[in-house]
Amino acid sequence: MMKVPGFAILAIVAVSAAAAPTPLVTTELTVPGPQGPVAGTLVDPDGKGPAIVIIPGSGPTDRDGNNPLGVKAASYRMLAEALAARGIATLRADKRGLGASKAAMADPSAVTIADYAGDAHAWAKLIAERTGRRCVWLLGHSEGGLIALRAAQDPSGLCGIILVAAPGRPLGTVMRGQFRANPANAAILDAALAMLDAIEAGRQVDPATLPPPLDKMFPAAVQPYMIDLLSYDPAKLAASVRLPILIVQGERDTQVGVEDARALAVAAPRATLALLPGVNHVLKLVATDDRAANRATYGDPTLPIAPAVIDTVAAFVTMTR
């Protein structure tokens, strides 16, 4: 591991291709939800290597990393398959109230970050009980990184956390930057900023007063969750974590920036920071800074996950024991 001022940078050694991969063995599991089971898929190649719970990003994102809002990148499924080839187990699940976890609760918006953190701990505990592992890693992608940070406030049963494309600033700050960065938002920018001000202050906004598409993006049902979400400061959470932390950030991510990764690393100076050239928010390689080309990768399930993501995560959980 190399050191640079202020941060630890993981030195990645690519693993050469070996023999033809063996078929993946998957196990469908559940943990209790508030009204019914939360469902997930365990991929455990040998029962001995490190194990990781993959925590999905925002919205109706499923266990594979897809959602009905135009994301078909299958990033979590690809990550699980690639890590299995390195002897690393993963558990990825559908959120409460969605997909195969639909019976867990009637309203998938009636949740908190603490609820999701509790689910992550439940999965880690189940894996430990089934396999005899001493501890389990949490990997949070995007908003899932905030959930991993919240879960790590209770370190019991956890090896450490991996924050992939995770916000390092309060989500209200990140969202303001996203709205401002897209010229197409000029007509709705003032309304969007005013709405975020209200949500941060704990006040709901009548969607009928919002211009399209804000009225559909922030319906009344999701605003209590948004109020909870925007109340967290990821850097403050990171500063209080006493477990190993890996921060992974793609340099062509147009949703969460390198400044977020650096903010997390400053808050947790013992963390390991890996900045990956050419990698975007859905963990795919993008050859140019063209926003349209970047966005096109979100809907392409044939495009493989960036090898550097796999190498970085695998090296960290294997070396940090």
Q: What's the mean per-residue pLDDT of the chain?
A: 93
The partner residues of 54 in beta bridges, in order of sequence, read 92, 139
Alpha carbon 219 to its chain's center: 23
| CA angle, 245 then 238 then 198, to 5° | 140
3-state secondary structure of 282: coil
CA distance 296 to 293: 5
CA distance 18 to 25: 19
Give per-residue pLDDT as tens, 174-209: 999 989 988 999 999 999 999 999 999 999 999 999
pTM of the model: 0.91
Give per-residue pLDDT as tens, 1-37: 333 333 344 444 333 333 445 678 899 999 999 999 9
Q: What domains can be seen in the chain, in order of their start residue? A: 2-170+234-319 (3.40.50.1820), 171-231 (no CATH)
| Short-list 250, 290, 245, CA closest to 267 | 245
